[in-house]
Structure formats: C-alpha cells, structure tokens
Amino acid sequence: MDLESCSYVLPLLTCCLFLLYSITCYALAAAAGGGGSCGGSDDHAAPRSYPLVGCLLDFYRNRRRLLAWYTGLLAASPSQTIVVDRLGARRTVVTANPANVEHVLRANFGNYPKGKAFTDVLGDLLGGGIFNADGERWFAQRKLVSHEFSARVMREAVGVALEREARARLLPALDAAAEGGGGVVVVDVQELLRQFAFNVICRVALGGGGGEVALALPLSRLAAAFDAAAAISARRGAAPVAAAWKVKRALGVGSERRLREEVKVIRDAIMEFVRDSSSRRRREQLLAAARGRDDLVSRMAASGYPDEAICDMVVSFIMAGRDTTSSALTWFFWLMTRHRNVEREVLDEVDACMGDGGGLAGVDLEGSRRARVLHAALCETMRLSPPVAWDSKHAAEDDVLPDGTRVGRGDRVTYFPYGMGRMEAIWGADAGEFRPGRWLAAAAAGGGVSPFKYPVFQGGPRTCLGKDMAFVQMKFVASAVLRRFELRPVAPEGSPEFVPLLTAHMAGGLKVTVRRRQRQNGTFSIDKIVMQKPVVD
C-alpha cells in the first residue's frame, strides 16, 4: 500500500473502530438506563454522554453544525456554560458567560495561556510568532510590535497602503463591474476584500508602503499558500480525534503533506525577504535611518532578533490581519443590502464627516473616526458574525470559574463570541436582530460595552493590538465603497452560511452586481480620484 492510500485508510480505520466502540457503549448505557451529561451546569442543557466515549457521539453527529449546537446548549444552560468530555480530546469548558470570560482573560490571566495543545495545531505555520506564543516570549514580541499600531504609523504606513490598494485594485474593479453591464456583471466582494486586506497587511508588515513589496513570488501566490495552510490548520483544530492528523503528519501524506508544501512556500518567500532586508540593514544602517525606514522587519533586525524569529513574527502578523477585516466587511456589506435604512444613515453620516473627500481615495481618515453610526454598524456586524467565532486557553493549574464550574489542570477553556452575540441573557430579547442603535445607546450612557461581554477583540492583557487599525481599515473601505457604489446581492433571500475556520468567512462568497451610487445632489463621481485599471499580480 502506498503512502497516499494510507492517508485515507488510517483515518477511516480509526473512525470505524471508534464507531464500533461507541455503538457498544451506547447499547450498554441504554441497557443501564444510562446517559447522563457532560458535566455542565445544567444536565438538561448538556450533550448526552456515555461511558468512556463521553460526548463523542453527539459531537460527531453535530460536527458540521458546532456553532448552532453549542449556542443552543449554552442558551439552555442557566450559567451559559457547559462542560464537554469526549474520547480523544481534552476536557473542554465552553462558556458564553461574561464573568467567566473576564476571569480567564483578565482576573486570572496568568493561569490561562494558549497552551501546548493550541500551539501544536498552529506551530507548523506560525512557529513561535506572537499569535502562537505565551509567557515572556509573547510579552517581548507584543512590546515590540505595539509600535506598528501607533498613531503615526496608522496615519503614514497604513494610510498610504490603504490608498494605494484602493486606487490600484479595489475601486477600479468595482467601477469596471458597474461600467460593464448595468447590473449584469457579477463580482465576489468577499474575494476582492480578501485580496485588498492581504495586500495592505503585507505592505505594512514588510515595508512596501506605497510601492511594491519585493518578494520572490507574486502576492497572489503567497495569499493562496496562506489560504490553504490556514484551512488545513483549522481542520486540525476541529478534528474529533487529534491523533488522526498527527499520524498523517508523521507519515507526510494527504492534507498534512499539502500543509508542509504550502508552509514551505510561505516561509521561503518571507525568509528570503527577511535575510535580504537584514543584510541590507547591516550594510546600510545609516542610510536606512536617513530614509526613515521603520517597518516591522527593520526594527526586529535592528533589535537583534535572528532571521527565523523575524519570519515567525511576520507570518503571525499577516495571519492576524489578513482575513479579520475582510470577514467583517463582507458581512457588513451583506447586512447593508438587507437593511437599506441603516445604509442610508451610514451614507448621510459619511458624507457629513468626509465633506468632499480628502486625499485618500475620497476618504478622510480623521473624518472617519467621527463616524459614530458607521462604527456602531460595524460593531453590530461583528457581534452577529465575529471574525473569530471562538478562542481557547488551557489551564496551567486547577481553578474554579465565577459561575462555579471546576477547571482542571490542562483543561481547555473556550469562550465563544459567536454564541455570546446570540445570548438573550446578555443582549436582551432582540439579540438575534441587527440593531446598531444598541451601540449608540451604550455610548450615550457613558459606559460603552464591556470587552468581556463582547470579546471580539479579546480583553485584558491580550487585547488585540490591531483593534484601532482594524476599525481604520474597515471605515476606510466602507466609506470609499458605499459613497460610490450600490451593491445588490444575486443570491436569494436568506442568511448565507457562516463558516468558522481560523477566520470566519461566508460560504460561496458575497456575489453582487454593482451600480454607481445616485445621490440626491447628483452622482458621486469616481473621477474625483485618479485610478488605474485593476492590477493583477
């Protein structure tokens, strides 16, 4: 038997053995009047459990709808917490309780690192970069990378990258669609936004600024490698039995072989850039300082980091920023097509804040900061469709959560932004509705919304450093697109499928037709800025 055949036979054999074992346990449990629970706060809310295999049967049965399954169980639990025990996995506490989230992310932060189980899943792709680091290594990297999110960098590097990508690709592509058929040409907005966000974050991380990033391969090929590697890594984390992917990795077959190949593409390209950049910095340090180069790679090299560590950091930086904003914006534009009244409010506010536009593709970055309705609409979008559906930590020592749930050393504790956004216990009876006004009301009351009630950007010491950058980018894109174009989805009525990989996306993309925006005071002319034809690298 060849190795490729093993990639199918071994997982299949494993599943058959577990199925046979589970059926036997099910029969024994039924004969004994069995069942029980997985140990949640409310036995009626917990998935069914059987001797030895635990919740494996229920988990496997719901593996393609875990978001809805967990959300239903948590909503039925008085404490919004359940405990899942299943064969082949660590004991897992899943919570949508804000008090528990605050305890894990802030009050007892030191006891809840990401943990080896998490870093193993992403280690081949991310190495020891900030997104996959704990302890002192994480703290040192966070301190260094925090410079990337200063007001000056946001204004200069991020602003320039946003303008360039908007002029070169995003807006011309939409304009061409509007020009090319009066509602006939179909565009996948999700794919456009993903390309846009990937190019922007590469320019910020690698110092391309307003020019090209000098990589040895096109950005489109690098993006494809990231897509494949992220998808396979996500499937690792969702595997019912972790041993299956670990065996495939050891044998170098199937999806694990593909992961190894795509990671090599990513790391070879970035390492070549890093080595060239580091060498150039050593040779031309004074000249580089005179030019004012202050990108992430340059500063890590100047701080004495080895090339491998710089590569890890760059990969983590790109992973953290590549799809989060594009995911949120995809759902935002879809929601605007379903809530035209909110879209009108956003447009009126954007026009008032932007005036005639400004230099950045018709968007005034400072004006966008004042766009309160737009900010509220984006927050409400991410409440219902968070870019990261869930996040896990692993307990370093035994603990008890505020709601009384026991946590053992090594247990996984998962907080669940997707489910939290749907909890009536948190948001009220209209939790399932898109209502940006709830954010305006919270701001008017002076308290805002707790990050532990809305942990889309985490909270506590590990709060997302890129939060402000994300809002700058989302407001920029939303303003630039909505002022010029009306998007009309081609799919039938109904909600698209939310797919929770490492970063969530919309199944099948957001397919739209594009029309130039007609305003009461005339058409907002796309000729107000100078653009080129869409760039294809």
Quote the mean pLDDT of the chain. Answer: 82
Q: pLDDT digit string (tens) for 389-433? A: 999 999 999 999 999 999 999 999 999 999 999 999 999 999 999
The 3-state DSSP class for residue 95 equals: strand
Residue 391: closest CA among 341, 335, 345, 460: 460
Q: Do you know the residue count of the chain?
A: 537
- Mean pLDDT, to the nearest integer, of 95-114? 97
Q: Residues comprising the binding site?
A: 464
Q: What percent of the chain has pLDDT over 90?
A: 46
Q: pLDDT digit string (tens) for 500-535? A: 888 999 999 999 999 998 764 444 443 344 344 555
Question: Given strand 92-95, what is the order of strands in its sheet?
Answer: 81-84, 92-95, 412-415, 391-394
Q: Residues comprising the binding site for heme?
A: 464
For residue 266, give the amino acid letter.
I
Q: What is the pLDDT of residue 526?
A: 39
Q: pLDDT digit string (tens) for 247-262? A: 999 999 999 999 999 9
- Say how far apart CA 379 and CA 366 lie, in whole Å: 19
Q: What is the pLDDT of residue 54?
A: 80
User: How would DSSP label each residue in 471-520?
Assistant: HHHHHHHHHHHHHHEEEEE-SPSSPPPEEESSSEEETT--EEEEEEPEET
Neighbouring C-beta atoms of residue 65, cutoff 10 Å: 11
Q: Which residues contact 34 (CB under 8 A, 6 or more apart)?
A: 28, 50, 51
Task: Give this prediction's pTM.
Answer: 0.85
Q: What is the pLDDT of residue 27?
A: 39
Q: What is the pLDDT of residue 376?
A: 97
The 3-state DSSP class for residue 366 equals: helix
> 41-516 adopts what CATH topology?
Cytochrome p450 (1.10.630)
Q: Which residues contact 278 (CB under 8 A, 6 or more apart)?
A: 297, 301, 307, 310
Does the structure show a pLDDT above 50 at 39?
A: no
Residue 229: closest CA among 256, 247, 252, 248: 256
Q: pLDDT digit string (tens) for 54-93? A: 887 888 888 888 899 999 999 999 999 999 888 777 889 9
For residue 19, give the amino acid letter.
L
Residue 247: closest CA among 13, 501, 502, 1: 13
Alpha carbons within 13 angstroms on the beta-carbon side of residue 36 total 18
Identify each DSSP E strand in 22-150 by its residue range: 81-84, 92-95
Alpha carbons within 13 angstroms on the beta-carbon side of residue 92 total 27
Does the structure show a pLDDT above 70 at 446?
A: yes
- Say how far apart CA 58 and CA 56 lie, in whole Å: 6
- Say how far apart CA 326 and CA 331 lie, in whole Å: 9
Strands 511-516 and 485-489: antiparallel
∠ Cα 351 352 353 (to 5°): 95
DSSP conformational letter for 88: T
- Mean pLDDT, to the nearest integer, of 326-341? 96
∠ Cα 61 67 68 (to 5°): 75
Does the structure show a pLDDT above 60 at 134?
A: yes
More confident call, 229 vs 277: 229
**What H or E segment, with its residue span, contains residue 292?**
none
More confident call, 502 vs 360: 502
Q: What is the pLDDT of residue 220?
A: 83
* φ, ψ of residue 519 in degrees (nearest 5): -110, 165
The 3-state DSSP class for residue 432 equals: coil
Place of tokens 């049965």: 61
Structural tokens at position 98: 């804000």
∠ Cα 190 121 91 (to 5°): 110
SS (H, E, C) 432-459: CCCCCHHHHHHHHCCCCCCCCCCCECEC
Q: pLDDT digit string (tens) for 141-191? A: 888 878 767 666 666 778 888 988 999 899 999 999 998 755 578 999 999
**What H or E segment, with its residue span, contains residue 407?**
strand 406-407
488 forms bridges with which residues in the sheet?
513
Q: What is the pLDDT of residue 520?
A: 47
Q: What is the pLDDT of residue 24?
A: 42
363 forms bridges with which residues in the sheet?
360
Angle, helix 219-238 to helix 254-283, in steps of 10 degrees = 130
* φ, ψ of residue 515 in degrees (nearest 5): -125, 145
- Mean pLDDT, to the nearest integer, of 229-241? 85
Residue 392: closest CA among 152, 11, 132: 132
Query: Between the CA atoms of 481, 483, 484 and 488, what dihedral angle is there, to the nearest 10 degrees?
Result: 70
For residue 244, give the amino acid letter.
A
Q: What is the pLDDT of residue 43?
A: 39
